[in-house]
Structure 1
Amino acid sequence: MKKILVPTDFSNEAENAVKVAAELAKKHNFEIVLLHMLDLPIQQLNTGSAPADLPEAMYFMKLAHKQFEDVLKKDYLRDITVTETVDFHDITKGILETCEKESIDLIVMGSHGAEGLKELFIGSNAEKVVRHSKTPVLVIKNRHEHFDIKEFVFASDFKNDNKETYSQAVKLAQLFDAKIHLLYVNTPSNFVTTATSKVRIFDFIEGQNYNNYTINIYNDETVEKGILNFSKIINADLIGISTHGRQGIAHFFNGSISEDLVNHANRPVITFKI
């Protein structure tokens, strides 16, 4: 991992994400790309087609650069390689294109509490980033005085199409020297015996050399409640889940499940694209 992308609107929530990214960058010698998207039609920059709108577009561009100047003066960014980017683009498309252009390894995004998380996973631009991004997305909900991952819950149905996401989770765990808690949630409507679940999990992790893990079969009313309750019991620092692109959040995260889980998760959540 070399580069972290932090989309920012210069809000307090975005600053929470920048601070987490800065701590990761200092600890592991990463670079940070700060991105501010001005969601204005690109035609506004073309004096041949929209000369009347050019002053407004340039005003917002200058304002964004001034805000970046203030951010870059922060002590927590000292001695970190930081690149600032302001662009006129669709927000989601701009983030995804920046990831490809800059070879981004991790996106760190802030969230506006429960309401913001609902927007994040239900219908906002950020939700589209999570859904379509090939790059892992770390969602930061709260302010962290010190960001460290020691207890990492990886919740899955442990089918073969998720194996690549687990490889990404292992790389992250190695970075923090964290323990991975492999979690399968049993529900009344989708019950699987403990023996069958464990066989599925062992098959799933075969070939990985990371031995700092636990296997957990947890029974609850719903999958999202099981993830939240288990994470609370072990005081997890991070919850990891997988996404299926345009199909939405994989297995656990369809319909109201995604809304319920992420709205109530007071912990960072990281998503991996299948």
Structure 2
Amino acid sequence: MSVTYKNILVAYDGSEQSQLAFEQAKMLATLNDSEITVLQVVPSVNYFLYLPDTYIYSDLAARQKEIMSYAQDQMNANFVYNDTDKINVIVQEGSPKRTIVEYAEKKKFDLIVMGATGVHGINKLVVGSTTSFVVNQAPCQVLVVK
């Protein structure tokens, strides 16, 4: 049985395991002549707390825009080098686990590649909550890299 992945999504959070996931995706993309999309999800201010429309919230929202811009610049610097027509870089705001699943469903990816744990991984031997959620909710196959 031969499986071909033409559209691969890499969930990236800057962790060592997400970098390994990207390297694995590059290998699969080379074998399958695939396109890779690297997705970084920046948790929104509302992901951590709820504040009414106050000065504090407005200031946090402005900071959020700065963080999103910085994340996009860093992603472009890290991933847009050669083969730029085969690597897309996306930064979105929201709940990481839900955004990964929703984006994969919306764009009809064949495969999601992600690390077993991310930057908040407490124990490198245990699958993180985001990874566990994606594995159980994804509309496609998921490759977990350790």
Same fold (TM over 0.5): yes
Among candidates 62, 72, 75, match of residue 68 of structure 1: 75
Give yes or no for the alignment of 1:92 onto 2:97: yes
* Residues 45 and 64 in structure 2, CA contact (< 8 A), matched pair in contact too: no
Among candidates 110, 116, 120, match of residue 115 of structure 2: 110
Paired residue secondary structure (1:138)? strand
Paired residue secondary structure (1:118)? coil
Q: Using the alignment, how far apart are the partners of 1:69 and 1:79 within structure 2?
A: 10
Q: Using the alignment, how far apart are the partners of 1:130 and 1:62 within structure 2?
A: 29
* Mean CA deviation greater in 55-64 or 105-114: 105-114
Match of 2:36 in 1: 32
* Residues 119 and 127 in structure 1, CA contact (< 8 A), matched pair in contact too: yes
Match of 1:148 in 2: none
Runs of at least 5 residues in structure 1 that lack an aligned partner in the other structure = 142-274
Q: Using the alignment, how far apart are the partners of 2:89 and 2:46 within structure 1?
A: 19
Match of 1:235 in 2: none
**% identical aligned pairs:** 27
* Residues 8 and 113 in structure 2, CA contact (< 8 A), matched pair in contact too: yes
Give yes or no for the alignment of 1:82 onto 2:87: yes
Q: Aligned letter for 2:134?
A: V
Q: Using the alignment, how far apart are the partners of 1:10 and 1:62 within structure 2?
A: 15
Length-normalised TM-score, structure 1: 0.44
Runs of at least 5 residues in structure 2 that lack an aligned partner in the other structure = none
Length-normalised TM-score, structure 2: 0.78
Task: After superposition, give the CA deviation of every residue in 1:76-122 in whole Å (9 maximum; x if it has no partner).
Answer: x63651111111111111011101111111010123599234142xx
User: 1:93-242 maps to which residues of 2 (within 5 A)?
Assistant: 93-112=98-117, 115-120=123-128, 124-141=129-146
Give yes or no for the alignment of 1:18 onto 2:26: no
Among candidates 48, 59, 63, match of residue 56 of structure 1: 63
Q: Aligned letter for 2:14?
A: F
Give yes or no for the alignment of 1:2 onto 2:6: yes
Q: Aligned letter for 1:11?
A: S
Q: Aligned letter for 1:64?
A: A
Describe the shift of the 1:125–1:91 C-alpha distance in structure 2 as closer, same or farther (beyond 3 A): same
In our comparison, the structure showing a higher alpha carbon Rg is 1
Q: Using the alignment, how far apart are the partners of 1:68 and 1:36 within structure 2?
A: 8
Q: Using the alignment, how far apart are the partners of 2:86 and 2:58 within structure 1?
A: 36
Number of aligned positions between the proteins: 132
Q: Using the alignment, how far apart are the partners of 1:80 and 1:24 within structure 2?
A: 16
Higher RCO (CA-CA < 8 Å; seq separation 6+):
2
Describe the shift of the 1:96–1:106 C-alpha distance in structure 2 as closer, same or farther (beyond 3 A): same
Q: Using the alignment, how far apart are the partners of 1:90 and 1:72 within structure 2?
A: 23
Structure 1 residue 72, shift from structure 2 partner:
1.6
Q: Using the alignment, how far apart are the partners of 1:64 and 1:129 within structure 2?
A: 22
Q: Aligned letter for 2:66?
A: Y
Q: Aligned letter for 1:19?
A: E
